[in-house]
Chains A and B, each alone.
Chain A
Amino acid sequence: METIVEARGLVKTFKRKDGTEVQAVKGINLDIYRGEIFSLLGPNGAGKSTTISMISGLLTPSAGDAKIGSYSITKQPMEAKKLLGVVPQEIALYPTLTARQNLEFFGKMYGMGGTGLRKRVDEVLDFIDLSDRQKDRVDTFSGGMKRRVNIGVGLLHKPQLVYMDEPTVGIDPQSRRRILDTVLRLRDEQRMTVLYTTHLMEESQELSDRVGIIDHGEIIALGTQGQLTQQVGEEDRLMINVGDQPVPESVLQRVRQIEGVTRADYSAVQLNGTDADEGISAQAVGEKRSTGTSATVRITQAIDGTITVYAVRGRKALPHIITAVNEGGVEIRSVEVREPDLEAVFLKLTGRALRD
């Protein structure tokens, strides 16, 4: 397949204030094929934005290089940039300008002008379904409409590759649906390649032809969704919520001995702030009356504990698991069975959830 992006050994090192260095991207190799939707999936701080910033020319790589089309981003940056359209996560528009003025301004930054620009602006406005609002100032638009203009700007110069950085952040489900459809139309109707970054596994699963999972500045998995889920085998994941109850190790031991279970872990998420100075335990919920004043401070610290069990044919093992937990004196609040997905792949590879 013909590649549109070839990254080889991309490294980005930042200097801290104390003079030490931190490597945000550690030698990434990446191929993106022409005409596909490629998702770069990873938690916040994994190195997604830094990688894309280097590819799009915002940051200069500390080492390595990448090509867009046949142009090197370090040696022929202007030529490479002509092939790339960028849709940033934030609404990167001028609020006091109208939708058309915004599009025209950025079109001129790509060397467009005259009737060609006007015609293309009309096409883009039509594509993002905002022709009727083209003369309105952007600051009068809803969040979803701003997102569409934001996307439109990235499409103006008919790029071969469109990079979209989490374009559905902070918008309502209806607008989100519309944007996801737009992404699919870019590939199917406009024949554009889309590089899509997200931390939402569901979006990645729905849109992507291929997925790259990035963590700590490295691509830890790359392939189609099917290829990636194969990595976690056929194990189901059972999420047993036990609220703020402590789970003794003996309970986990009993669960691990059940047939089909390969792994059982307990993890807890603290829902509210702690008050360590007061010496209150993480599981305590109560009231504290301050002395000398009439104020009453209610301390609502709580933890949300989950037993995560990996099991082949998990549904079959579930009754036995529930029994084992109950007999250990732990009351189950809820149970969820998840079949293998990208979240599971990430969890399996990193030991952490994507949203952590």
Chain B
Amino acid sequence: MNKLWNIAWKDIRAVFTDRNLLLIMLATPLAISTIIALAFSGVAGGGSPLENIPVALVNLDEGAGGFNGGQIFVSALVENPDPAEQAEAAPVDATPEATPGTFELGAVAATVLEATPADPESCEVLATDADQVTAAEMLAAEQENPGASNTTTLYDLTDTVLVDDAAAARAGVENGDYAAAIIIPANFSASIGYSQDNPDFDPVQIEVYGDSGRSIAPIVIRSVVEGITNQMLTGQVAVKSTIDTMVTRAQENLGFGAQFVAANTAGQFNPDFSCAFNGTFETVSIQQERVNTDDDDSRPFNLLVFFGSAQATFFALFTANGGAANILEERRNGTLQRMVVSPTPRFTILLGKLIGVFAMVLLQLVFLFVALTLVNAVLEGEFQLIWGNDWLSIILLLLVTSLATAGVGMLTVAFARTPEQANIVGSVIGFAMGILGGAFFTLPPNVVTDTLRNASVIYWGSNGFQRLASGDSGVITNILFLLVIGAALFVISLIAFNRRQDI
């Protein structure tokens, strides 16, 4: 055991005291990830590199009390929905003369105030006074100056089509026609819409059926859905707050209540609550889709996480390849032979070298993930655990990603004759896996790329980290795949090295 550690530690020390190597292993991927994130994310004020994500929207929402939240999704995401369908279920109209099936706040309030008159107030005043409707303020600001700070709209971001059947939408995702399907349940509006009969919000689930093969698009769509939902909830909170305030005031001041009922009856009460439900989300950008929900597991999409994890794994592959190629370098320099002539079994020597490679990769990944977290903190101005809170999964994924990347690097070297040959073959494999794994850009989704990327440990590793970062703990497949691949390559490499006569 001491000899194993002696060999591994010697390699680790040699690498981590070499300034040039550190530059390549740590500074380069960190710089590239940061530059890409700055170039393409809202952090730098730029637009999103993503466009026209194919999405299927299934609106099963039956509406409730004149409110149809599902239709808000349609308005927000579908650029040219069927006009007839639009007219049938307009998302919000707060006027007393609203068409049947629309949200009639005046009627709701008047019903409440038949017994308790109240003083009318505007949406903005109430919102400000109650310090609640931040989403409404944001939307109002956007309406005044659309696109001032962002250039990518939801219409640009997605290419959303309406699909009637949830099963058909899911099938479309599985076929690769859509990156994700958003399925709004029938009871969506009933659950989150405020009414006298239903003053409290009920739990409801919108299904975002994502293509797990597309590492980035489903995360973005999920974030968009969370954003829209959050704004609706905020609007509902504003409505509830408004009505509660009016009812309270009417109860305290009977004169105000009588005036309100009279005004509503005369059709004069027309507070502009539509600002809280405005379905015109053209100006909503990805950056604005940050959701500050109570759900701790729900996290916004972060380009630093996306490219950082892929770049870290990509460079880890090179570290593994270089570390394993060091066996051939040692053979050339004679130090390997020197170890072989010592009373140390050949297997122990090789295992020590391979453990060294694994440890180097692990340390590199840990360093990069910590550094990327700090970079994000600097860019965002606040410290965030950008890789999520699921520490067990993070640690497991780090370990198996290190194992798998080390395995790939070692297998390459095990069959190479010289360090140069190992470096060339390793570079080709590294870049191929990097491209498939999204280290540089996202590949156009199709059957071929979807199949090929499954062979990339970079894909499995970075996909797992992106999932954890977005609050999705379902990375067991990633962990198992990387574990099996890593262990298999590790063993094959060890046997291949051990069988070589020249080592």
- A109→B335 contact, CB < 8 A: no
For the complex, what is the distance from the CA of A94 to the CA of B338, rounded to whole Å?
11
Q: Which residues of chain B are within 8 angstroms of A92 by Cβ–Cβ distance?
A: 333-335, 337-338
Give the one of B335, B340, B341, B501 with max A CB within 10 A: B341
Question: Bound state CA distance, A9 and B343, in angstroms?
Answer: 24
- Complex contacts, A127 vs chain B, CB 8 Å: none
A260 to B333, CA, bound (A): 52
B477 within 8 A of A: no
Verify if B342 is at the interface (C-beta below 8 Å from A).
yes
Min CB gap B168→A, angstroms:
60
Chain A residues packing against B (C-beta within 8 Å): 56-59, 77-79, 81-82, 84, 86, 88-94, 96-97, 105-106, 108-111, 113, 153
A96 touches B343 (CB 8 A): no
Q: How far is the CB of A100 from chain B (nearest CB, A)?
A: 13
Contact B2 A56 (CB under 8 A): no
Residues of B within 8 A of A90 (CB): 333-334
- In chain B, positions 337-373 with a C-beta closer than 8 Å to chain A are 337-345
Known interface pairs A78-B345, A105-B6. Does A153 touch B338 (Cβ–Cβ under 8 Å)? Answer: yes
Q: Does B295 contact A (CB under 8 A)?
A: no
Q: Which of A58, A78, A105, A153 contacts B343 (CB 8 A)?
A: A78
Chain B residues within 8 Å of A94, by CB: 10, 14, 335
Q: Does B382 contact A (CB under 8 A)?
A: no
- Specify the chain B residue showing the minimal Cβ separation from A60: B501
Interface centre among B14, B338, B339 (most CB of A within 10 A): B338
B8 to chain A, nearest CB (A): 12
Set of chain A residues within 8 Å of B345, measured between Cβ atoms: 78
Contacts of B501 in A (CB 8 A): 59
Q: Which residue of A78, A79, A96, A106 is within 8 Å of B338 (Cβ)?
A: A106
CB pair B334 A110 closer than 8 Å: no
Q: Is A108 within 8 A of B341, CB to CB?
A: no
Across the interface, A110 reaches (CB within 8 A) one of B10, B340, B343, namely: B343
CA distance A305 to B349 in the complex (A): 52
The one of B14, B334, B341 in contact with A91, judged by C-beta atoms closer than 8 angstroms, is B334
* Given A90-B334, A92-B334, A108-B6, 9 extra CB contacts under 8 A: A77-B343, A79-B343, A84-B341, A91-B334, A92-B333, A92-B338, A96-B18, A109-B339, A110-B343
Within the complex, the shortest CB–CB distance from B334 to chain A, in Å, comes to: 3
Docked Cα-Cα span, A84 to B14, in Å, equals 27
Chain A residues near B343 (CB, 8 Å)? 77-79, 81-82, 109-111
> 1/0 per position for B2-46, CB-CB distance to A under 8 A?
110010001000100110000000000000000000000000000
The residue on A at minimum CB distance from B352 is: A109
CA distance A135 to B342 in the complex (A): 24
Q: B342 contacts which of A79, A96, A109, A113 (Cβ < 8 Å)?
A: A109
Q: Assuming A105-B10, A108-B6, is B334 touching A88 (CB within 8 A)? A: yes
Min CB distance A106 to B, Å, is 7
Contacts of A109 in B (CB 8 A): 3, 6, 338-339, 342-344
Interface residue range, chain B:
20 to 34
- CA separation between A91 and B469, bound complex, in Å? 49
| Bound-complex Cα distance A153 to B128 (A) | 79
**Cα-based distance from A84 to B334 in the complex (angstroms):** 17
Q: Contacts A81-B343, A96-B14 given: A88-B2 contact, CB under 8 Å?
A: no
- Complex contacts, A108 vs chain B, CB 8 Å: 2-3, 6
B-side interface mostly: helix
Residues on B with C-beta less than 8 A from A79 are: 343
Distance in Å: Cβ of A77 to nearest Cβ of chain B? 8
A56 with B341, Cβ < 8 A, contacts A96-B14, A96-B18 known = yes
List which B169-222 residues lie within 8 A (CB) of chain A: none
Most buried by A among B2, B339, B343: B343
Cβ contacts under 8 Å, A88 to chain B: 334, 337-338
Cα–Cα, bound, A113→B1 (Å): 13
Q: How far is the CB of B336 from chain A (nearest CB, A)?
A: 9
| Closest CB in chain B relative to A71 CB, distance in Å | 11
Q: Which of A56, A97, A113 contacts B14 (CB 8 A)?
A: A97
Q: How far is the CA of A322 from the CA of B51 in the complex (A)?
A: 96
A109, B348: Cα distance in complex, Å: 11
Complex interface: chain B residues within 8 A of A81 (CB): 341-343
Contacts of B17 in A (CB 8 A): 96
In whole angstroms, what is the CA distance A57 to B17 when docked? 33
Cα–Cα distance between A56 and B17 once the two chains are bound (Å): 33
Is B335 touching A93 in the complex (CB atoms < 8 A)? Answer: yes
The interface residues of chain A lying within 8 Å CB-to-CB of B2 are: 108, 113
* B335 and A58 contact, CB distance less than 8 A: no
Measured in the bound complex, the distance between the Cα atoms of B106 and A57 in whole Å is 95
Closest Cβ neighbor of A83 among chain B residues: B343
Decide if B335 touches A86 in the complex (CB within 8 Å): no
Which of B14, B18, B333, B342 contacts A106 (CB under 8 A)?
Answer: B342
CA A109 – CA B10 in complex, angstroms? 12
- In the complex, chain B residues whose CB is within 8 Å of the CB of A91: 333-334
- Least CB distance, B383 to chain A, in whole angstroms: 36
Of A58, A89, A93, the residue contacting B340 (CB under 8 A) is A58
Residues of A within 8 A of B333 (CB): 90-92
A111 to B348, CA, bound (A): 13
Nearest residue, chain B, Cβ from A156: B342
Contact B341 A86 (CB under 8 A): yes
A58 / chain B contacts, CB cutoff of 8 Å: 337, 340-341
Distance in angstroms between the alpha carbons of A54 and B99 in the assembled complex: 97
Kindly state the separation between the CA atoms of A86 and B336 in the bound complex, as whole angstroms: 12
Return 9 A-B CB contacts under 8 Å, by A number: A81-B342, A84-B341, A90-B334, A91-B334, A96-B14, A109-B6, A109-B343, A109-B344, A111-B343
A181 to B63, CA, bound (A): 100
**CB nearest neighbor in A for B340:** A58
CA distance A90 to B340 in the complex (A): 15
> Would you list which residues of chain B between 74 and 131 have a CB under 8 Å from chain A?
none
Asked if residues A110 and B6 are in contact (CB atoms below 8 Å), the reply is: no
User: Could you tell me the distance in whole angstroms from the C-beta of A50 to the nearest C-beta in chain B?
Assistant: 12
Residue in A closest to B337 when the chains form the complex, CB atoms = A58
User: With a CB–CB cut-off of 8 A, which chain B residues contact A93?
Assistant: 335
CA distance A92 to B338 in the complex (A): 7
Most chain B CB within 10 A, of A92, A97, A110, is at A92
Query: Cβ of A56: which chain B residues have Cβ within 8 Å of it?
Result: 341
Closest residue on chain B to residue A110 by CB atoms: B342
Interface residues of B in 293-331 (CB under 8 A from A): none
A138 to chain B, nearest CB (A): 11
In the bound assembly, the distance between CA atoms of A109 and B6 in angstroms comes to 8
**Chain A residues, Cβ within 8 Å of B6:** 105, 108-109
